[in-house]
Amino acid sequence: MPARPVSLFTIVFLFAIFAAFLLVIRYFYHPASTPAFVSSAENLPKEMQWKADRNSRRRTLDEARAADAKKASTYGWIDQKAGVVQLPIERAMELTAQKYGAKQ
């Protein structure tokens, strides 16, 4: 069954609209060449100074990872009154395997 003229007109019309959209984007859209965040630490509030540059963000990330690694590998109290402790991950897995493995 051949396509009706209305269908062909609609296809051509949609193609023309899409081409016009691409031309508008090509001529009017220019991505920013500057980084998204450019500011000096002096212009930032105290709690945001870690965002000032790449080195400060890297240093903050390294400190956070070191703190997380210490928490994951040491013993300590979370809430002494409630009896909640912090265990190394390996030890916690051993205790969990002993607890639930014995029930099988």
In tens, the pLDDT along 48-90 reads 877 777 888 899 999 999 999 999 999 999 999 999 999 999 9
* In contact, 69 and 61? CB cutoff 8 Å: no
**At 43, is the pLDDT very low, low, confident or very high (cuts 50, 70, 90)?**
confident
Count of domains forming the chain: 3
pTM of the model: 0.48
* In contact, 102 and 94? CB cutoff 8 Å: no
**Shared domain check, 67 and 41:** yes
**Shared domain check, 69 and 81:** no
> Other C-beta atoms within 10 Å of 92: how many?
13
Q: Which amino acid is at 101?
A: G
Task: Give residue 24's domain range.
Answer: 1-30
**Shared domain check, 80 and 66:** no
**Shared domain check, 92 and 81:** yes
* In contact, 73 and 87? CB cutoff 8 Å: no
* In contact, 44 and 32? CB cutoff 8 Å: no
